[in-house]
A and B are shown apart, each in its own frame.
Chain A
Amino acid sequence: MGTGIRTVELRKTFTSPPPAATPGRHLGFTMAGGLKRRSRKSVHVVALDGVSLEVRPGEIFGLLGPNGAGKTTTIGILTTKVRPTAGEAWIGPHEVWKRPVEVKRLIGVVPQTPNLDFALTAREILLFHGAYFGIGSAARARRAQELLERFQLQERADQLLLGFSGGMLQRLSIARAMMHDPEVLFLDEPSAGLDPQTRLLLWEIVRDYHRRGKTILLTTHNMEEADTLSERLAIVDHGRVIACGSPAQLKASIPGGFVLRLQFDATPPELLRALGALATVRELRPGAGGGVDLYADRGGALVGEIARLAALHQVNLHDLHIAEPSLENLFLHHTGRSLRG
Chain B
Amino acid sequence: MIALLDYGAGNVRSVQKALTAAGGDVQLVPNPGTVAQADAVVLPGVGAFDDCINAMQRQELFEAARAFVSTGKPFLGICVGYQALFEKSEEFNSCAAGLGIFEGSVVRFPDTEVKVPQIGWNEVQFSKPDCPILQGIESGSHFYFVHSYYPQPKDESIVATRTEYGVDFVSAVWRDNVFATQFHPEKSQKVGLQLLTNFVNLI
A and B co-occur in one complex = no
